[in-house]
Amino acid sequence: MRISTSRTRQWILAPALCGVLITGCNTSGGGEAAEPEATPAAESTPLAEDQLRPLLLSSANLGTGYVQVRAETDTGKYNDIVVQGCPSLEKLGASGDEVKFASKATVTFAKDGTATLSEELHSDRPTVLSSKLRSLFGAYTACRSYTMTAGTTPIEVKIAKSGTPKLGDEQFAYTSTMELPSGAQVLKTLAVRKGNVAVMLVGAPALVDRHIEAAVGKLPADD
């Protein structure tokens, strides 16, 4: 599976962002398309991107030391990142279009010039959000480890399920430990669905745990 993402200083986040954060995964392997889902008459419809953007975290929500990072425009910069050794992720990459949501909005922050915190909001019908979140997190937690190659440098990645807060309607989380040349780096990916919107945070576990309640608190109330 080949990974591409245009986030500033985020190439090391690729295993967490690809798939779960829908930033553009693809693979040459095969995959079965998901079955179309029925739409219950009472389900709320997806919010548009311009409706999601005001719901994103801001520097004011996070506190001192956070600076919003602008996304880079060089979309081909990270095309040399490849994941191997996890069949579930290969299948996920092959059917990437099937797990995209109706709309999304994103933002990334740097904390004191070192740690990063990325947020994505996704909106779709509640049953679609639920089904696809389960598929995404199921794919990532199905493999306890895999290898990510950046250029010619192989990086071992270990995955572990994580505890989740009692927020929203559904919660999903896992941690990624990457063995980088400079040492191990641990990232947490946490998603909470509330009605027809899901918030996903990726970053240092302490930052994700610290700000998830504020992120969910900005979501609209359930119908």
Which alpha helices (DSSP H) does the chain contain, by range? 14-17, 49-52, 59-62, 87-94, 126-141, 205-217
pLDDT score, position 73: 46
Q: Bigger pLDDT: 91 or 3?
A: 91
User: What is the reported pLDDT for 79?
Assistant: 54
Comparing 42-51, 53-62, 153-162, 177-186, the range with the smallest average pLDDT is 177-186
Question: What per-residue confidence (pLDDT) applies to 3?
Answer: 39
Q: What is the pLDDT of residue 128?
A: 94
The mean-pLDDT minimum among 57-61, 110-114, 205-209 falls in: 110-114
Cβ atoms 155, 149 nearer than 8 A: yes
CA angle 22, 162, 79 (to 5 degrees): 30
Say if CB 41 and CB 35 are below 8 A apart. no
Classify the C-alpha dihedral 82-174-69-183 as positive or negative. Answer: negative
Q: Distance between CA 195 and CA 160 in Å, rounded?
A: 27
Q: How do residues 194-205 score in pLDDT, each as one tens digit? A: 999 999 999 999
Convert 166-178 into a string of H (helix), E (strand) and C (coil).
Answer: CCCCEEEEEEEEE
Domains of the chain as residue ranges with CATH: 2-29+46-217 (3.40.1000.70)
CA atoms within a 13 Å half-sphere pointing along the CA-CB vector of 142: 15
- Look-up of token digits 């200083």: 9
pTM strictly above 0.85: no
Residue 171: predicted pLDDT: 96
Q: Are 189 and 16 in contact (CB under 8 A)?
A: yes
Quick one: what percent of the chain has pLDDT higher than 70?
72
pLDDT digits (tens, 9 = 90+) for 67-116: 998 865 444 444 556 778 888 877 776 555 567 899 999 999 999 877 88
